[in-house]
Amino acid sequence: MKNYKTMVLSNQEISPGYYRMRILAPGFGASARPGQFVMFRVQTSLPPLLRRPFGIFRTGFLPPDCEGQPPKEYLELLYKVVGRGTNIMAGLHHGDRVEVLGPLGRGFDPGNPAEEKILVGGGIGLVPLYMLASHLTKTSSVRLLMGGRTREDILAVTEFERLGVETYVSTDDGSLGEEGLVTEVLKRKLEKFPGASVYACGPMPMIEAVQRICAERKVPLQVSLEALMACGLGACLGCVVKGAGHSEEIPRYLCTCKEGPVFRAEQLDWARMGEETGYCEGCKS
């Protein structure tokens, strides 16, 4: 966990509105675990004031510029342009100064190697699943169920396949893969693999549906949540989510940045989850 004052290596649009950014980050990979995130400072001047949280898509090494030098370690983000900060990010180029605070939070628990693993990703929610998959495929059989509104929201599928992950795509409009919701695919897969563990990341309505499906079938589930964050360190208490057993009288708040962003489903208060999302009201309608 460190504040990397570093620079952009590359930043490319990979699908309309989606970008992939590589950032120089020596030593980052050794400390990062699947499901963790970073707080990204869009530019060294203000605005925007606050950093933006992004999942770690992957880490890796680039060949050095000159022979004899060590390879350059990078951190890769995959992001969707939605507002002010991500709009500025989309305009960054090689060499631009940025700051990355991380790796932060608690990642996924890899679980029992013997079990089947089903990863469920919605849109940009696939980000933390890639690093997870690259770990899990070493020992387990891994399936990825990817959902999106349209084909343009389906990203990096080939990269998952290259890891040996069996991939199922569904889109709301049928423009890629099956037409329909990813949760329908999940139901079918769970019929076939009732002993599987599920790992999910995506929009809240999807996460809630996945939770219901897993709870009904008593399938172990880990979810990665989003929340508005100021510090990313457990200091501001801006990012809390209601924990299991939460009530007005005995409130149980958990920090998404520190106790999450990955939670076991049992840790959370699902009944009250939908009430307070706020930051993505837009995407719920």
Ligand X SMILES: Cc1cc2nc3c(=O)[nH]c(=O)nc-3n(C[C@H](O)[C@H](O)[C@H](O)COP(=O)(O)OP(=O)(O)OC[C@H]3O[C@@H](n4cnc5c(N)ncnc54)[C@H](O)[C@@H]3O)c2cc1C
For residue 77, CA distances in Å to 36, 191, 258, 260 come to 12, 34, 20, 19
Residues in contact with ligand X, shown as a per-residue x/- string from 107 to 136 under the rule CB under 6 A: -----------------x--x---------
CA-to-CA distance for 269 and 225, rounded, in angstroms? 13
Q: To the nearest whole angstrom, how small is the minimum distance from the Cβ of residue 193 to ligand X? A: 27
223 binds, among ligand FES, another protein, ligand X, none (CB under 5 to 8 A by kind): none
Helix (H, G, I), strand (E, B) or coil at 261: strand
The C-alpha angle with vertex 84 and arms to 80 and 86, in degrees rounded to 5, equals: 30
Nearest C-alpha neighbor of 203 from the set 183, 178, 189: 183
DSSP 191-258: HH-TT-EEEEES-HHHHHHHHHHHHHHT--EEEE-----SSSSSSS--SEEEBTT--SSS--EEETTT
Q: Which is nearer to another protein, 32 or 182 (CB)?
A: 32
Q: Is 280 annotated as a binding residue?
A: no
- Using CB under 8 A as the binding rule, whether residue 268 contacts another protein is answered as no
- Using CB under 6 A as the binding rule, whether residue 241 contacts ligand X is answered as no
Q: To the nearest whole angstrom, how small is the minimum distance from the Cβ of residue 20 to another protein? A: 25
DSSP 69-98: SPPEEEEEEEEE--SHHHHHHHT--TT-EE
Q: Is 283 annotated as a binding residue?
A: no
Distance separating the N- and C-terminal Cα atoms of the chain: 37
Residues in contact with ligand X, shown as a per-residue x/- string from 24 to 53 under the rule CB under 6 A: -------------x------------x-xx
Helix (H, G, I), strand (E, B) or coil at 108: coil
DSSP type of residue 106: B
Residues that bind ligand FES (CB under 6 A): 229-232, 234-239, 255, 257
- Using CB under 8 A as the binding rule, whether residue 240 contacts another protein is answered as yes
Tokens of 130: 């890639």
- Using CB under 8 A as the binding rule, whether residue 14 contacts another protein is answered as no
Nearest C-alpha neighbor of 134 from the set 105, 154, 163, 170: 163
In contact, 118 and 197? CB cutoff 8 Å: yes
- Using CB under 6 A as the binding rule, whether residue 83 contacts ligand X is answered as yes
- Using CB under 8 A as the binding rule, whether residue 97 contacts another protein is answered as no
- Using CB under 6 A as the binding rule, whether residue 268 contacts ligand X is answered as no
Rounded to 5 degrees, what are φ and ψ at 224? -110, 125
Residues in contact with another protein, shown as a per-residue x/- string from 212 to 231 under the rule CB under 8 A: ---------------xxxxx
Q: Is 183 annotated as a binding residue?
A: no
- Using CB under 8 A as the binding rule, whether residue 51 contacts another protein is answered as yes
86 binds, among ligand FES, ligand X, another protein, none (CB under 5 to 8 A by kind): ligand X
Give binding residues as ranges: 85-86, 231, 236, 239, 257
Give binding residues for FAD as ranges: 85-86
Give binding residues for [2Fe-2S] cluster as ranges: 231, 236, 239, 257
Contact residues: ligand X, CB under 6 A: 37, 50, 52-55, 78-80, 82-86, 124, 127, 226-229, 261, 279-280
